[in-house]
Amino acid sequence: MSKKELTLGIDIGGTTTTFGFVDIDGNILKESQFMTQAEDHVTAYLPRLFDAIDEAMAELEEGVVIKGIGMGAPNANYFRGTVENPPNLKWGGVVNLVELMQKKYKIPTVITNDANAAALGELRFGAARNMKNFILITLGTGLGSGIVVNGDVVYGHSGFAGEMGHLIVNYDGRLCGDGRRGCLEAYVSVTGIRRTVSKLLADSLVGSELRDVSQSELTGELITQAALKGDKIALEAFEYTGHILGQKLADTVLITSPEAIILFGGLANAKDLIFEPTLRHMEQSLFGPFKGTVKLMMSELQHRNAAVLGASGLIWHELEKQNAA
């Protein structure tokens, strides 16, 4: 029998770094995590990463082969192998993480941002199996997106394609973290719906338990719970969020005409509260020929380790492309 083949999937977040060894069917054989300590320079981070990987590797059964490494990280560039000035990692400028990993482990290594990795996780192990054209949207602190066309993630000329969080909803709208106004993620994300609750609390006189919660204490979970109890402000916040998301999805469908749009992340946990208005407004806004052609789906990795599966999906996908070439 041939040796067991695994890939190493690594997800680097501002708070934690998670990694795991994943086989071709998406089984995670071993998984670990440690604090990223985002304020450290990359030269302090890397030894911690290497130690953690080496320790986990030593515990794998004998004879396994690690075929490659996939990484998901903020502001990562697939073409250059770099992580470039992410606001939530104080690594110091542009870091060629692929080069550093390859120097140490001497196996194929690829990197992309977390949303693109999540899309590849979904393609190999989740809701998008057998799809050629779909869009994955992550609804967390911000809004990330990974766009798959003809069976591959769209990186574009720059390597940074698929930044739907910065589509403009309203040129005079809410200030976004990037300094511009009216970006989609200022409305549609956990942070966005929280801002929407504040706006609704300002505009209306309707009673709401959310009037007793400060903006910084407000979570997607709290808004969801209130909405499930019939709280009008919370329900209206989901309606507003779904309205804006649905309209922007309808615009995006004109560009790539996906078979499905898959929602993932904190806000997707609200299920029908967010899916129903999003689908309704998307269908209302869609240009005729596209009406009824797009499925809106829940991620199938939502309650598994999506980040590790995404990073692993990235490298499995890459190895397959290399074999095909």
Q: Which residues bind its own copies (CB under 8 A)?
A: 75, 84, 131-133, 147, 149-150, 152, 154-164, 166-168, 171, 178-180, 247, 250-252, 254-259, 285, 287-290, 293-294
Nearer to its own copies, 46 or 154 (CB): 154
**Least distance (Å) from its own copies to the CB of residue 324?**
11
Q: What tokens does 143 get?
A: 């809004």
Nearer to its own copies, 14 or 159 (CB): 159
**Least distance (Å) from its own copies to the CB of residue 3?**
32
- Sign of the CA dihedral running 164, 168, 173, 176: positive
Nearer to its own copies, 6 or 95 (CB): 95
Q: Is 183 left (phi over 0), alpha (psi -120 to 50) or beta?
A: beta
Q: What DSSP character marks residue 171?
A: T
Per-residue CA distances from 152 to 51, 123, 148, 149, 294 (Å)? 33, 9, 5, 6, 18
Which DSSP string corresponds to 180-236? -B-BGGGTSSHHHHHHHHHHHHHH-----GGGGS-TTT--HHHHHHHHHTT-HHHHH
**Least distance (Å) from its own copies to the CB of residue 116?**
12
Nearer to its own copies, 57 or 167 (CB): 167
**Least distance (Å) from its own copies to the CB of residue 287?**
4
Nearer to its own copies, 47 or 288 (CB): 288
Nearer to its own copies, 234 or 314 (CB): 314
Q: What DSSP character marks residue 288?
A: G
Coil, strand, or helix at residue 108? coil
**Least distance (Å) from its own copies to the CB of residue 52?**
30
- Angle (CA) 127 128 132, round 5°: 170
**Least distance (Å) from its own copies to the CB of residue 150?**
6
